[in-house]
Structure 1
């Protein structure tokens, strides 16, 4: 790659898009050869990607930042932890739906946005996995934890497959 006044070619870069977990990815990129830029919307959720009227307005913010496609950007999406740790259970109970149906709704919304990026001209989109919940039991100062008095952020959920952290 080179950069001069006559003929400038921008180096490829990671464009990390997501919720507060973006910071962890960005911190790790200092060890990579490609530079990194990020777009963080705190509280963004995968299921919110289907809702243009969500409280965070994440879908609109992400679209405005990445469409039309940026040349040499490689989008890296980091969403889903809040869905896995809270939203799926909350929406299942609120809507009288199954947890599986809510999980599928989150996945469908997430990959709908991936499809938008591919159709916009990005040849590659990287999707990271949801990390384990980062909200500790009883951590009431966190906005997501405050939104439920029913303990959805309690990773114990009386299920041995979901131990307390």
Structure 2
């Protein structure tokens, strides 16, 4: 477990959540910002320069709630999670040669490193090929699911 420092919790607690975006309060000292960014990254937040906010695959308030309540977060490394690198995904999908009727399963409940690009490729491959989620996970966030995410090519 990564213990979050009180000053980092204070910044996150005073941030404004609007849907998937979390807006930090004002300009932070660079060292404080780096620690805040680390904590937010551990719960799925990614800085968006264009939005000037940390964006989450779910509602930002929900994403930081447990962190704020416990002052701790389990990091990806502690969970044993490692993202599939984009070049590996590209090669995997090239070799898979997806055609209508194929089903693609994301092998972990990760962040959709395989399922998202598979869905995008099959939906743009041709007019007759498109991907549709076959789990209850919302289409906009196919990788945020406690179960493997499945995509069926049609």
| TM superposition score normalised by structure 2 | 0.24
Higher share in strand: 2
